[in-house]
Structure 1
Amino acid sequence: MSIKRSALSVGVIGAAVLAVAATTAGTAAAHGTMTNPVSRVAACYAEGPENPKSQICKDLVAMSGTQPLYDWNEVNIANADGHHQALIPDGKLCSANRDKYKALDLPRADWPATPVSAGAFTFKFRTTAPHLGTQTVYITKQSWDPTQPLKWSDLDPTPVAQVPVTRTATDGYYNYAGTLPQRTGRQLLYTIWQRSDSPEAFYSCSDIDFGKASAAQLAAAQPAAAPAAQAPAVPSEEQITAGLSKSTVAHHGHGGNPNEPAGAVVPTASAAVGGGSPTGPLLLAGAAAIGVGWAGMVLRRRRFEAVRRDS
């Protein structure tokens, strides 16, 4: 009877080991940011964290250091679960109310801005760990003042794009179409990526410029307004790879591989995450082998003790 009870206990423990392994295999976090139009954090990272070129990016580093830029793909809330407005107060939208990224909320009219025009637009979102979910992109109302803290009420409630995203990213990017409405002057696009396989959500602010700013915008923006410029730079793949050693983003790439360095990225080739990763089965197989071996050892020990007692 004692051997049977031991076998039952071993089975329960073995099942627990397998459950832990299964959980570990599926905990890879999704990360990324908008790159067309380029987000604030990506634009400043592209300038170079150690020697940024624009005044606003210099001020970001002076306020928060270089780490927020090396961690450009991590403006998130782990337990958002769709409750974005409840968790992020007015004035904190671009940072997702995280102190680490507070400089992204600076109400300035000199953030690097992508020139755009009304009509069809192709969005590009660089993801370093793609996962199931929905990306929703909102635009500010024409009345938005870029020199005032961004509020939820500044966003037009009608998205300019809303698409489901999957575990597959083409060359490391989600690419999808949207439509920009008529606007003038500086505006902002606010992207929310709510995962459906986790309560985690990611956020990004992308400054855009329709040109021909209204008189009210020009008056509000002085003296901070900068002249219209070319499209801001986007982080290159070489720069992203080179910055991994300084990243503290701990999603360990895609697929939950604990041997990947912090901040490891999806390579720029079509990549599937989750079910397509070999890591999960390997972890499960390893856990199963450990559980079986340990169970056998315990049972042999129990039988040996039982024989000794009987003799």
Structure 2
Amino acid sequence: MRLSLRRTTWRVLAGVAAVLALMTTVSTNSAQAHGAISDPPSRVYGCYERWAGDWQNPAMAQEDPMCYQAWQADPNAMWNWNGLLRDGVGGNYQAAVPDGTLCSGGNTAGGRYAALDEPGPWQAKDVSNTFTMNLLDNSHHGADFIRVYVTKQGFDPTTQRLGWGDLELVTEVGPMPTSPTTPFQVSAPGRTGHHVVYTIWQASHLDQSYYHCTDVNFTG
């Protein structure tokens, strides 16, 4: 009886410790917040938006399998949705972020975001070929510029890892003022179906660049 009670107590304490660790991560993350593409949502922001308040729900595995595999790989990626960045790149983005690692920012942060590079059925938002994107800049960093690339027709995000050769630069905007939310227009003609929109946000406060993959479904 005592042994069973001890085991139960340890399980409860372990569960509390896990929750406290996640709460500490969220608190620390909020204090050092940066930003992300929030609409259409980047992969990491979309997972956070859909599941942060329900992260123990087993339905995630069936309803959102790519977020589920990312959560299993490293839950800290979801809690740190606004930290997908590299410092000191000096504009040499392709050298810093090799093919196959674009969605994780070149496996930045010790590979925390590596699961975002996995091909598969990522949830995609329906958009027209001209649509509005939104940068959630909750630290008011501003932007020297935001470059927006879209995958070429024929690329398959469900089976292929993203490389620079798969992308076409369609929009560059900036400089942009510091603001918690910054909308901008994107036009990607001639595309239908599931595509990846890839953004590089070069922050204004220092040499800090952010990388985000956003899944969209062009409806024509």
TM-score class, shorter:
0.7 to 0.9
RMSD: 2.0
Which entry has the higher C-alpha Rg, 1 or 2? 1
Q: Where does the alignment leave 5 or more consecutive residues of structure 2 unmatched?
A: 1-30
Match of 1:55 in 2: 65
**Could you give the per-residue CA deviations for residues 52-96 of structure 1, whole angstroms, max 9, x where no partner exists?**
4411111111112x2111100011001122111011110000000
**Could you give the per-residue CA deviations for residues 7-45 of structure 1, whole angstroms, max 9, x where no partner exists?**
xxxxxxxxxxxxxxxxxxxxx988211112111001110
Aligned counterparts of 1:127 and 1:155: Cα–Cα separation in 2? 25
Contact 2:33–2:82 (Cα < 8 Å) also in 1: no
The total of aligned residue pairs comes to: 178
Instruction: Indicate whether 1:39 and 2:42 are aligned.
Output: yes
1:3-82 map, 5 Å: 31-49=34-52, 50-51=55-56, 52=60, 53-64=63-74, 66-82=75-91
Q: 1:130 to 1:203 in 2, by over 3 A?
A: same
**Could you give the per-residue CA deviations for residues 182-215 of structure 1, whole angstroms, max 9, x where no partner exists?**
2111101000011244211001100011248xxx
Q: 1:167 to 1:129 in 2, by over 3 A?
A: farther
Q: 1:29 to 1:58 in 2, by over 3 A?
A: closer
Contact 1:81–1:201 (Cα < 8 Å) also in 2: no
Instruction: Indicate whether 1:91 and 2:103 are aligned.
Output: no
Aligned counterparts of 2:176 and 2:192: Cα–Cα separation in 1? 34
Residue number among 188, 199, 205 corresponding to 2:207 in the alignment: 199
Query: Identity of aligned pairs, percent?
Result: 35
Contact 2:196–2:213 (Cα < 8 Å) also in 1: yes
What's the secondary structure of 2:104's corresponding residue?
Answer: coil
Instruction: Indicate whether 1:101 and 2:113 are aligned.
Output: yes
Contact 2:194–2:216 (Cα < 8 Å) also in 1: yes
Instruction: Indicate whether 1:142 and 2:150 are aligned.
Output: no
Contact 1:34–1:125 (Cα < 8 Å) also in 2: yes
What's the secondary structure of 1:134's corresponding residue?
Answer: strand
Q: Structure 2 length normalisation: TM-score?
A: 0.75
Aligned counterparts of 2:47 and 2:117: Cα–Cα separation in 1? 14
Kindly state the Cα deviation for residue 103 of structure 1 after the two structures are TM-superposed. Answer: 0.6
Aligned counterparts of 1:196 and 1:128: Cα–Cα separation in 2? 14
Match of 1:125 in 2: 135
